[in-house]
Amino acid sequence: MALYNTPPASVTSIPFAKDTAEKPIQFGILGCAEIARKVSRSITLAPNATLFAVGSRSLEKAERFAAANGFPPSANIYGDYEAVLDDPGVDAVYMPLPTSLHLKWAVLAAEKKKHVLLEKPAALNVAELDHILAACESNGVQFMDGSMWLHHPRTAKIKELLSDPHRFGQLKSVQSIFTFLGDSDFLENDIRVKPDLDALGVLGDVGWYCIGAILFAAGYELPKSVTALPGTVFNEAGVLQTCRASLLWEDGKVATFTCSFQANLTMNVTAIGTKATFQVDDFVIPFREDAAAFSAGTECSFNDLATGWKKMPSKHVVTTDLPQEALLVREFSSLVADIKRNGSKPEQKWPTLSRKTQLVLDAVKTSIDRELQPIEVLKG
């Protein structure tokens, strides 16, 4: 039985052809973090990529990881990170390392002409990220962060709605939430709660998604200022566990976000325009790999007695043959192949989006550090 009497869902199917005409991009993985299992699978699923090497500080750990995650018998396995970067067969590297290590290893990878797929948050601050991006640009290598949801075809369909002034109108407000309840082991031992490994804590981990979703809805126009909101929670080591913030633009539109390791799993985004509202309940990780939905209400209103809605929001389902993480790898590998085979320049879209997200994240962190003062977002 349906909970609400909503219009039937529209379904959009996005097929992806298997392209085997060219040699796949050969990936090396630096580190054996849990997220690397998911990305290893996505490299296997992507039609233009292959697992080629893995490195860990422990050779035994790297061997176990390769055996458990579908690496071919021919894969090169190393007991340190730099050996992966020195492997002439590696075209690109995926780095699921703690954020505190991103600057060192991403710069070194770029200097060794390896294309860089870097786990988010991209850096501890925009100054570090600028060093990484400068190294990538000067060495002609592609940079991309690991924000998988941006590569789902649902995201492109939502962008169509947001960009249509006749259907959506002018953006007025955005709310994004990403929370999950960490267990005692996570809250005590995970790298995301350690000040020497991931000092940004929840803001860098899941706040990165919240900020990214807000900027996406705003067409990546940076806000004028951000203000952290009351309710910030730190652990005993001083690492953020829960935080909230508001963003304000010159034209008056506003946004808020909440991110937390201390609340039930929630991944919501709502964007409200003058003519329409869209909502997503699973924007970071879709409920299903092969389909993702969003709801859109256009020019909704009450009935005459205001006892119900005259026009209901509609549900839209976008199907895909590949999960979003494989689509990320597919897009990244396509850009790398274009550079390698055609001498193309690296695509600047992806580093630009990462940098804008980092700028807002930095401003939120500064507002928290300054006892919730409004902070102007740097545009440079």
CA distance 23 to 21: 7
Residue 88: is the preceding peptide bond cis (ω within 30°)? Answer: no
Q: Which of 105, 111, 153 is nearest to 128 (CA)?
A: 105
Q: Which has the closest alpha carbon to 190: 61, 99, 279, 113?
A: 99
Q: Which ranges of the chain does DSSP label H, i.e. alpha helix?
A: 34-45, 59-68, 81-86, 102-111, 126-138, 153-162, 184-189, 201-205, 207-217, 324-342, 349-369
* The predicted structure's pLDDT at residue 21: 61
pLDDT for the residue 9: 60
Q: What is the pLDDT of residue 77?
A: 98
Q: Which amino acid is at 102?
A: H
Going by C-alpha positions, the residue among 264, 229, 231, 234 that lies closest to residue 246 is 229
Q: What angle do CA 226, 227, 233 make, to 5 degrees?
A: 125
* Closest residue by Cα to residue 62 from 33, 104, 27: 33
Among candidates 55, 65, 34, which has minimal Cα distance to 105? 55
Q: Tell me what pLDDT residue 309 has.
A: 84
Which region, left, alpha or beta, applies to residue 33 given φ > 0 means left and ψ of -120 to 50 means alpha?
Answer: beta
Match 């039609």 to its residue by tokens.
Answer: 47
pLDDT at 17: 44
> Which among 31, 73, 32 has a CA at the least distance from the CA of 50?
73
Q: Terminus-to-terminus CA distance in the chain, angstroms?
A: 53
| Cβ pair 116, 213 in contact under 8 A | no
What is the C-alpha separation between 111 and 105, in angstroms, rounded? Answer: 10
Side-chain half-sphere CA neighbours of 177 within 13 A: 13
* pLDDT computed for residue 348 by the predictor: 98
Token readout for 191 is 């790298």
The sign of the dihedral angle between the CA atoms of 29, 35, 38, 42 is negative
Q: Report the distance separating Cα 336 and Cα 343, nearest Å.
A: 10
Please identify every stretch of the chain with a pLDDT value under 50, giving residue numbers as ranges: 1-8, 15-20
Provide the phi-psi class of 203: left if phi over 0, else alpha when psi is between -120 and 50, else beta. Answer: alpha
The answer to whether the beta carbons of residues 350 and 314 sit under 8 Å apart is no
Q: Are strands 233-234 and 276-280 parallel, antiparallel or unpaired?
A: unpaired
pLDDT in tens, 363-377: 999 999 999 999 999
